[in-house]
Chains A and B, each alone.
Chain A
């Protein structure tokens, strides 16, 4: 019975960690809504949020508060959380699928491909998508980044169909595709004018500048559905940790799982990257901290990574817009600094878990 009690007490601790992270995310959410040049008492934030749901008409009496909290900060905070969640679950699932802790949406070429899509849209403007009206030029960047992000994973899928879907093949294919798209971005940067070069560079740095309710309405359902789907694969992802052979013997369709998992995690990541630009390290940091906290069981690790991803990106974005207020730093820059320090810590710390 000892192993049963070890399992049950471990599960209890994991659930406590998940609820603690959820609570922490909620506190950070409220703090972030109140951060910025326009200060409000905390209770006023709750009132505004409550009224916006129950009686939006009441908010019209304080239009500046409504604009700041509901129209500007809330969509930005939500987009930061959703992006953090998406990138972290994508990283977590890709690492499990390919049994490689260093895999992330970056390693598999997704970010480079999305960058190329965005750079193309910035350089060539609406001419590459003439069916989109000129007033929605920003939409062209979003659509191109999203489509190219997907194209990268479809290319990897194509290669896996020809050469098999072993993790080595997929990682190698991803790295190569990443380099090819990076070359494309470099050529576009080299050929374009200074104004567009600046725009591309800003996009590549990543940030929540593009946050609005439209983005949240598109990203939220995609993130939620992808999360639920990937969570449903958790047991199969666990079996992959014992190797492809054991997973197959345990009844898992390994090739199908790899392809489905990669497609859905790419969908989650590319939908967010399209709106925010390149934001690195979340796909690595979320799952790594999650593993240190609650171990490898993907049933708990995926939600744990999601909460950590949302939390880290929200804290980083809040810092990015308040640290040098009124000047805003791209959140991607902050993530690189935090990520670099974190991985140095990881190297020095070694492999230890909080909960076994």
Chain B
């Protein structure tokens, strides 16, 4: 029995393998956007902008990410108003889900990440997408 348990412990848990891929991808993304300015010629723009000419709610987030990593918060906000708030919101949400933080503030979690909050997120995303094309 002990041998079998040891064998099972050595086996890679698929969820852990996936988590590792996600972390590697995240670090690669941060490294690339730290050094690469998306305004450099040859760096592709958002496909939505290329094909439709519309600014979708996330347009400008490549440039915003680069500016954020370089520490230029105002510049980042000017490219995409939602980018930094969305990162902060999603980051705290991820911590609430995956660490002890959620169990510590269950009421806050229910309010800020519950049904109405999600509807608000959808509403803000869609209205930002409409508003920035009208302006």
- Do A and B assemble together? no
